[in-house]
Amino acid sequence: MKKIFVNGYGSIGSRITSFLKDDPEITVIGVGKYSPDEKVNVAISRGLNVYVPERKLDSFSDYKISGTIESALDECDLVIDAAPGGHGYKNKKNLYEPKNISAIYQGGESTTGDESVSNLLFNSRANYDLASGKQHVMQGSCNVTGMGRILEPLREKFGDDLIRFDVTLVRRWADIEQTEKKVSDTIEMTEKPHHGDDVKLYFGKDAPLYVRAIKVPTRQMHLHIMDIRFKETAPKPSELHNIFADEFGVATLWTAKGTKDVRDYAQNMGFNFTDTNMIHIHANMTTSIGDTVQMMYSDDQTGIVIPENHMLLQAMLFDKSYEDAFAHTESIFHMKEKKLKLQEHFAKKD
């Protein structure tokens, strides 16, 4: 039984912890909290031990905390860092490296430049094997993970027939539970988005991938608008959709009018945290024109990286083969079942 500590209990940390509790191969030592707020008691009510930074002990005197983050780290085999972007790097330098502890970082960090947390950006579909034996690995962000689920299968199928990919990321403003975050009534343009460069870390630095990004006032997922150019005539939409029929974490939907329809369905079906944990090709929007396929898919911003973290920890902690890790992740996340339910509900109407 391996012991894991989850440092940070926000959108990502709370989800990861919840799924890890269902994993018989893992014990969750506890979670790290930094603000003395109601979420401390939420975590405790869920049966979790809450740890806080040593320097902040006094401010948590009204809460039943279990000890300091520093002491919890001494007990664990691996820490999953779920800190706000940039803090993971500081934690690596101040906590994990001095204690020689293996760590997984989230997509708000970087794998290049002065504040790089790792030389590996993980995407289970593209580079699972490279994570084995590594001590510090970053899980790609939600958009970067989502793009991989489309690009890798396309490359496997069409190889040199592909000429270029142009992607516009329409990013959500905030997560559903981030109620303190105001959603501004504007369309914000992102200069030099990191997502294309991040994808190229696993897809190849010379890949003909061009990414633009804007942020829109919604909490309901990201949407990627992708144009795929081929050397010759582009395949028909049906041929493209067939590639994803058995693809992990990709559902093909025909009748969702918007991203909220998908989220609402997940909520009605009682999916954990109202997440689908996947991307959804909006098949009714796929067109093939001359040498180009135009497609759109939505990306469950909070859910998509959670099974990925689970795959990653199996490579790092247990050195499992891709097949074994995949089967174990599937037994906990039930992705196949969720995909089939989504596809059935949003099936094509004659």
Q: Which residues bind ligand NAP (CB under 6 A)?
A: 7-13, 32-35, 82-85, 87, 91, 106-109, 141-142, 175, 301-302, 305
Cβ atoms of 9 and 63 within 8 Å: the answer is: no
State in angstroms the smallest separation of the CB of 246 from ligand NAP. Answer: 25
State in angstroms the smallest separation of the CB of 208 from ligand NAP. Answer: 26
DSSP annotation of 224 reads E
The residue of the chain with the least Cβ separation from ligand NAP equals 10
Give CA–CA dist 264/280, Å, rounded: 14
Residue whose CB is less far from ligand NAP, 82 or 213? 82
Nearest to residue 311, comparing CAs of 257, 238, 254, 249? 249
Residue whose CB is less far from ligand NAP, 15 or 328? 15
Residue whose CB is less far from ligand NAP, 5 or 158? 5
Using CA atoms of 206, 212, 215, 220 in order, give the dihedral in degrees to the nearest 10: -60
State in angstroms the smallest separation of the CB of 261 from ligand NAP. Answer: 19
CA distances from residue 89 to 7, 36, 60, 141, 282 in whole angstroms, order as listed: 13, 23, 25, 15, 36
State in angstroms the smallest separation of the CB of 275 from ligand NAP. Answer: 10
State in angstroms the smallest separation of the CB of 125 from ligand NAP. Answer: 16
Cβ atoms of 148 and 198 within 8 Å: the answer is: no
Residue whose CB is less far from ligand NAP, 196 or 235? 196
Residue whose CB is less far from ligand NAP, 43 or 234? 43
Residue whose CB is less far from ligand NAP, 87 or 195? 87
Give CA–CA dist 82/104, Å, rounded: 9
State in angstroms the smallest separation of the CB of 156 from ligand NAP. Answer: 25
Give CA–CA dist 283/347, Å, rounded: 10
Residues linked to residue 281 through DSSP beta bridges, in sequence order = 252, 297
